[in-house]
């Protein structure tokens, strides 16, 4: 459905509610929706990169957004990018969030998108974020999260940000959270990482489907390596580890690797658990009880010395 057709439906919906009752409670959610639609939103088109490498100051957070306002982009003045740190590694002390302005993107840096609304790719490097917050390398560690939030400034003086977001704006269509998390990684220690895998039912791994699915994936500078227990229910499209109840696989990270991000596709039957050991044999990640770890990035970080 075209953007402008959706706007027309919202306007018609507003007229219908107005016709039904002129003294409806102004706190009613429909009025909230219409009020924000008369304001503005930044719809997420794509999060282009949400991994920052603490070993590389040029590693960049990037998100492509589309601006929507009552004048189809005519009110857009600028978008500010702010950053703060969420300390998830308390072992080395706790760093308090220090929200700071990184940079601002004027309307002139937006171009017309496919539905006639302004689009732009907003970005900030790791070095720029650290400088803006005024923190040093003792204040962050791989495994922490840099939180980027956006402030949309209109030509009439209004500003919309994460505090303006509503359930509708962050829903399937609008997807306008104004805030994004970027995981802080580092250049990994090269070597062999041992992955010990277990299945409580004893029929191999079924991750994304009841009959199988991919294994743990590691993006090593753009090359994907996988490890997982073979399933007897379908042919695996990667070099899986034979073993219905348990088995051990290896992920090798070569010398000179800049980044390696680990991800788990999920656990269809809640029967999976695994442990990852670094090149020196140290346990670096334990998935916990069977079925405890959900799909997504894994906080496996062993920084090169």
pLDDT for the residue numbered 87: 86
- The DSSP 8-state label assigned to residue 245 in this structure reads S
Torsion on CA atoms 198, 204, 207, 213, rounded to nearest 10? 140
Residue with tokens 């922490």: 144
Q: Could you give the CA distance from residue 116 to residue 302 in angstroms, rounded to a whole number? A: 45
Tokens of 18: 């107005």
pLDDT for the residue numbered 273: 98
Domain boundaries, the chain: 1-38, 40-185, 191-298
Domain 40-185 matching CATH 3.90.650.10: the answer reads no
Instruction: Residue count of the chain, please give it.
Output: 305
Strands 191-199 and 272-277: antiparallel
Each residue's pLDDT expressed in tens, for the chain with a length of 305 residues: 443 344 434 433 343 334 334 444 444 443 344 344 467 899 999 999 998 988 889 999 999 999 999 999 999 999 999 999 988 876 665 667 689 999 999 999 999 999 999 999 999 999 999 999 999 888 888 888 999 999 999 999 999 998 876 544 555 456 788 999 998 888 899 999 999 999 999 999 999 999 999 999 999 999 999 999 999 999 988 999 999 999 999 999 999 998 898 999 999 999 999 999 999 999 999 999 999 999 998 988 888 87
Give the distance from CA 153 to its chain's centroid: 24
pLDDT for the residue numbered 36: 41
Strands 216-220 and 260-264: antiparallel
Residue with tokens 């695994």: 274
Collapsing DSSP to helix, strand or coil, 33 comes out as: helix
Q: Could you give the CA distance from residue 81 to residue 157 in angstroms, rounded to a whole number? A: 17
Counting Cα atoms < 13 Å in the Cβ hemisphere of 47 gives 15
pTM of the model: 0.60
Among 181, 210, 60, which Cα is nearest to 122's?
A: 60
Tokens of 46: 């794509």
For residue 105, report the phi and psi dihedrals to the nearest 5 degrees: -110, 110
């Amino acid at each position: 459905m075209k953007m402008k057709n959706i706007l027309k439906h919202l306007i018609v919906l507003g007229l219908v509610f107005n016709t039904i009752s002129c003294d409806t409670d102004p706190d009613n959610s429909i009025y909230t929706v219409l009020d924000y639609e008369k304001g503005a939103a930044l719809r997420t088109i794509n999060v282009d990169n949400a991994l920052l490498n603490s070993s590389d100051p040029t590693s960049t957070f990037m998100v492509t957004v589309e601006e929507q306002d009552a004048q189809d982009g005519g009110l857009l003045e600028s978008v500010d990018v702010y950053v703060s740190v969420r300390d998830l590694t308390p072992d080395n002390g706790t760093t308090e969030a220090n929200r700071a302005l990184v940079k601002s993107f004027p309307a002139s840096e937006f171009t017309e998108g496919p539905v006639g609304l302004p689009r732009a790719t907003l970005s900030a490097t790791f070095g720029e974020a650290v400088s803006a917050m005024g923190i040093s390398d003792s204040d962050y560690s791989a495994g922490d999260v840099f939180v980027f939030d956006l402030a949309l400034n209109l030509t009439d003086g209004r500003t919309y940000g994460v505090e303006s977001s509503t359930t509708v704006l962050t829903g399937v269509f609008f997807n306008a959270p104004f805030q994004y998390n970027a995981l802080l990684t580092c250049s990994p220690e090269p070597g062999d990482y041992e992955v010990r895998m277990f299945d409580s039912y004893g029929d191999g791994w079924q991750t994304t489907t009841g009959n199988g699915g991919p294994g743990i994936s590691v993006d090593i500078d753009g090359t994907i390596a996988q490890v997982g227990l073979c399933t007897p229910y379908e042919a695996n499209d990667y070099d899986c580890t034979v073993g219905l109840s348990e088995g051990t696989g290896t992920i090798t990270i070569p010398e000179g690797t800049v980044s390696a991000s680990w991800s788990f596709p999920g656990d269809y039957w809640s029967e999976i658990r695994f442990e990852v050991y670094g090149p020196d044999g140290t346990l670096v990640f334990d998935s916990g009880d069977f079925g405890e770890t959900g799909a997504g990035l894994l906080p496996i970080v062993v920084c090169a010395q």
